[in-house]
């Protein structure tokens, strides 16, 4: 068997291993705690181990194709559906992101003392397997299938292990994400039908549509379905309200995987499918994308500043930062899209870390209300150090991956007159994120504690991060620093691929700044905490 064949089997194993481990745990109610953790450790660690191995074997020079390709029959070959797996320069970073966040979330969950731990870990493993399959799929049918497979456990986990307000959050999340999934599915089906390629293979669709492009009208209609379908899944303004509430009530492991990885599905779909296959449609909807992305950055940023609940603040912050990724993709240039990809990876790491640390804060303070805390750094200096580092990463401080993502996006926006004006309002988001981020650090760790919290600080109930908390936090912070110090570990391969997908800048329509959409109409409807 050749090396390529072996690597292809490794890729398949990275998807199957967490699913098998999840199935074992699903029927493991009688397992001991040690056995449950051992099975969980196997399922959570193997995808990352395989991901790192495949990264070492990855050939960036294979531009326009996929490394480690594996194509298996499904019984649906008549309609062009195969289990077609592979990794290119765009999917490789997100595949690794899923592995890193999956391991961190799994390690934390294994020691979280959740009720019915076998079921809790099984659902997390199903999520992880679905995520690995999503980014490894070359066939767009399975690309969509694996995403939906990963999404279902989220609803269950919120309903069973969620916090206060879980019922309402789960219902709203279900409505929004079902609508987003339906619109994106209709877009993918329309792309398949209108292309005439009789195949769901992304490679074949690219080859077919490059030779026989769809009409501008058809492109515009299909792109609208993908934009708003994927946009809802990414929490694009004003379809964002499900995200902060959902993350605030979700158990920590689910919040880490969904906010850190699963939410990148929509951006990845637009990056791989929308812009390259439907350039005329992308150009038509360009003004909408810009205004809605600025809504994410500015309006949601201001709403984030008003939050007192640390988890709600992180939820809105996650929504806000998606605006930068949309702006990067909207440049329709290899530079801008590369920045968006780097932003997706870095944001996934930082937001997963922050959600985990917010739960660690709650276990020590017994509240998510930042105004009721203060001075926690005296009792938990390691927790404070991790939270400060994660906050600096989220703001975009040099030394972390988020900086290079934002910097590259701004550089791409500044390249043309059409997009240059966007830099100024988008840069306001950095100031806004610095305000709410630094205020959170000050209020939680260094501010004057309330009288009630002072009594808690003076007791012996508060301890610093324990080993099972430090290890996953360390995994995520090391990954953030590596991406920040050596961004080329991802960008070199991605740039080669993106140069092929985005060879030239398309002509984008001029945006009338004075004719801005009434974005602020949604702001007053948000519930602040």
Tell me how far apart the alpha carbons of residues 145 and 140 are, in angstroms, rounded to a whole number.
8
Question: 73 — phi, psi (to 5°)?
Answer: -65, 150
Copy the structure tokens of residue 385. Answer: 């150090």
Contact 525, 360 (CB under 8 A): no
Q: What is the structure's pLDDT at 200?
A: 83
Tell me how far apart the alpha carbons of residues 220 and 226 are, in angstroms, rounded to a whole number.
10
For the chain, which ranges sit under pLDDT 70? 1-4, 61-63, 503-529
Helix (H, G, I), strand (E, B) or coil at 66: coil
Tell me how far apart the alpha carbons of residues 422 and 138 are, in angstroms, rounded to a whole number.
34
| R_g (Cα) of the chain, nearest Å | 22
Q: What is the structure's pLDDT at 13?
A: 94
Q: Is 194 exposed, middle or buried (0-12, 13-18, 19+ CB in 10 A)?
A: middle
Return left, alpha or beta for 332; rule: phi > 0 is left, psi -120 to 50 is alpha, else beta: left
What are the residue boundaries of the structural domains of the chain, listed by start?
285-529
Q: What is the structure's pLDDT at 25?
A: 93
Tell me how far apart the alpha carbons of residues 348 and 351 are, in angstroms, rounded to a whole number.
6
The number of CA neighbours under 13 Å toward the Cβ of 404 is: 22
b/e per residue 349-376 (b: at least 16 CB within 10 A): bbbbbbbbbbbbbeebbebbebebbbbb
- The residue length of the chain stands at 529
Helix (H, G, I), strand (E, B) or coil at 83: strand
Give, as one character, the DSSP assignment of residue 526: S
**Unique residue bearing structure tokens 């740039």:** 495
Return left, alpha or beta for 328; rule: phi > 0 is left, psi -120 to 50 is alpha, else beta: alpha
Question: 69 — phi, psi (to 5°)?
Answer: -65, 140
**What angle in degrees, to the nearest 10, is found between the helix axes of 216-234 and 286-294?**
20
Q: What is the structure's pLDDT at 510?
A: 64
Bridge partners (DSSP) of residue 221 are none
In order of 391, 475, 476, the CA distances from 483 in angstroms are: 16, 13, 11
Give, as one character, the DSSP assignment of residue 128: H
Copy the structure tokens of residue 226. Answer: 């993908």
Q: What is the structure's pLDDT at 385?
A: 93
Strands 83-87 and 67-72: antiparallel
SS3 content of the chain, % helix, strand, coil (to 5): 75, 5, 20
Q: What is the structure's pLDDT at 513?
A: 54
In order of 174, 269, 284, 376, the CA distances from 221 in angstroms are: 25, 16, 10, 53
What's this model's pTM, rounded to 2 decimal places? 0.89
Q: What is the structure's pLDDT at 204?
A: 86
Tell me how far apart the alpha carbons of residues 185 and 72 are, in angstroms, rounded to a whole number.
23
Bridge partners (DSSP) of residue 70 are 85
Nearest to 266 by CA among 238, 222, 289, 234: 234
| pLDDT tens, position by position, 77-128 | 777 788 889 998 889 999 999 999 999 999 999 988 878 888 999 999 999 9
């Amino acid at each position: 068997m050749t090396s390529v064949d072996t690597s292809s089997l490794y890729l398949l194993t990275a998807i199957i291993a967490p699913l098998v481990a999840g199935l074992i745990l699903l029927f493991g109610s009688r397992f001991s705690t040690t056995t449950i953790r051992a099975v969980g450790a196997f399922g959570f660690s193997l995808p990352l181990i395989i991901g790192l191995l495949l990264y070492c074997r990855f050939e960036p020079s294979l531009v326009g194709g996929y490394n480690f390709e594996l194509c298996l029959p499904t019984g649906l070959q008549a309609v062009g559906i195969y289990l077609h797996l592979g990794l290119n320069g765009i999917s490789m970073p997100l595949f690794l992101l899923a592995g890193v966040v999956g391991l961190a979330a799994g390690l934390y969950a294994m020691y979280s003392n959740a009720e019915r731990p076998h079921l809790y870990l099984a659902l997390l493993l199903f999520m992880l397997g679905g995520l690995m399959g999503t980014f490894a799929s070359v066939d767009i049918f399975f690309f969509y299938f694996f995403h939906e497979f990963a999404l279902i456990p989220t609803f269950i986990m919120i309903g069973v292990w969620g916090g206060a307000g879980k019922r309402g959050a789960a219902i709203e999340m279900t409505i929004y994400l079902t609508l987003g999934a339906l619109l994106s599915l209709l877009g993918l089906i329309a792309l398949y039908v209108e292309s005439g390629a009789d195949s769901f293979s992304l490679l074949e669709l690219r080859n077919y549509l490059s030779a026989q492009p769809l009409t501008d009208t058809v492109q515009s209609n299909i792109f609208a379905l993908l934009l708003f379908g994927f946009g809802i899944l990414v929490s694009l303004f004003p379809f964002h309200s499900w995200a902060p509430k959902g993350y605030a009530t979700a158990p920590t492991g689910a919040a880490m995987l969904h906010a850190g990885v699963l939410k990148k599905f929509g951006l990845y779909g637009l990056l791989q499918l929308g812009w390259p296959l439907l350039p005329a449609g992308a150009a038509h909807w360009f003004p909408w994308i810009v205004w809605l992305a600025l809504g994410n950055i500015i309006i949601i940023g201001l709403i984030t500043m008003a939050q007192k609940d640390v988890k709600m603040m992180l939820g809105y912050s996650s929504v806000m930062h998606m605006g930068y990724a949309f702006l990067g993709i909207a440049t329709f240039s290899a530079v801008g899209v590369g920045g968006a990809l780097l932003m997706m990876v870095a944001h996934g790491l930082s937001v997963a870390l922050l959600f985990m640390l917010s739960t660690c804060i709650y276990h020590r303070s017994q509240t998510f209300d930042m105004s009721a805390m203060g001075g926690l750094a005296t009792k938990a200096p390691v927790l404070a150090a991790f939270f400060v580092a994660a906050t600096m990463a989220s703001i975009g401080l040099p030394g972390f991956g988020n900086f290079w993502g934002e910097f590259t996006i701004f550089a791409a926006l500044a390249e043309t007159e059409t997009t240059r004006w966007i830099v100024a309002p988008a840069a306001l988001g950095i100031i806004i994120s610095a305000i709410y981020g630094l205020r959170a650090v000050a209020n939680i760790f260094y501010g004057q504690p309330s009288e009630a919290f002072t009594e808690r600080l003076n007791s012996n109930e508060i301890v610093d991060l324990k080993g099972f908390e430090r290890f996953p936090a360390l995994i995520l912070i090391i990954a953030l620093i590596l991406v920040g110090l050596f961004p080329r570990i991802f960008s070199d391969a991605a740039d080669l691929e993106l140069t092929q997908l985005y060879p030239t800048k398309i002509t984008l329509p001029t945006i009338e700044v004075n004719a801005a959409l009434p974005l602020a109409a949604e702001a007053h409807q948000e519930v602040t905490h």
